[in-house]
Structure 1
Amino acid sequence: METIISACISAAVTLLVCLISNHGQQEKTRALMEYKLNELTKRVDKHNNTIERTYHLEEQMALQEEKMKVANHRISDLEGKVE
């Protein structure tokens, strides 16, 4: 009878230690996953900002190219009238 009681107490203590250990590991894992997710979110935001800036620069470049074409056309017209 004493052996059964001793085995039950040992099993209960072992179960309690396992539960505490698992809870601690879950907290660490959750904290690590949250940290990684936050870092990934920062990198995605930075990437999206770069894409937006690139798109804006491409629009400005197209506008400047159009202005240069108009200016060159005007210069060509003026040169043709002078001659």
Structure 2
Amino acid sequence: MIDYTALAAASMSLIGTLVGTFGGILVANKLTNYRIEQLELKVAEHNKLVERTYQLEGRMTEAEHDIRDLKGGRP
């Protein structure tokens, strides 16, 4: 004979476990995606800074050459 009360309790337990598990996975996935987006923004900011620094170094090299030419000397 099948005990329907125990079967119902086991079924509700299974459903609750599945909902909790998949809910946790979805929340963790959203958090991971948010953190990745934030890191991408930080990387973009860093890349802008590196690019600007590279451009400034190039301009500084040109300025040093101009100063050397104005002084009339060569290294």
TM over 0.5, shorter chain: yes
- Equivalent residues in 2 for 1:15-54, closer than 5 Å: 15-54=14-53
CA deviation string 1:18-49 (max 9, x = no partner): 11111211111111001000000000111111
Structure having greater relative contact order (Cα 8 Å, sep ≥ 6): 2
Q: In the aligned structure 1, how far is the partner of 2:71 from the partner of 2:42?
A: 43
In the alignment, structure 1 residue 70 sits paired with structure 2 residue 69:
yes
Q: In the aligned structure 2, how far is the partner of 1:63 from the partner of 1:5?
A: 86
Q: In the aligned structure 1, how far is the partner of 2:72 from the partner of 2:5?
A: 100
TM (norm. structure 1) is 0.81
TM (norm. structure 2) is 0.89
Cα RMSD, aligned residues only: 1.4
Q: Which structure has greater helix proportion?
A: 1
In the alignment, residue 16 of structure 1 is paired with which amino acid?
Answer: I
Percent identity for Structure 1 against Structure 2? 27
Q: In the aligned structure 2, how far is the partner of 1:7 from the partner of 1:44?
A: 55
Q: In the aligned structure 2, how far is the partner of 1:15 from the partner of 1:25?
A: 15
Partner of 2:7: 8
Stretches of structure 2 lacking an aligned partner (at least 5 in a row): none
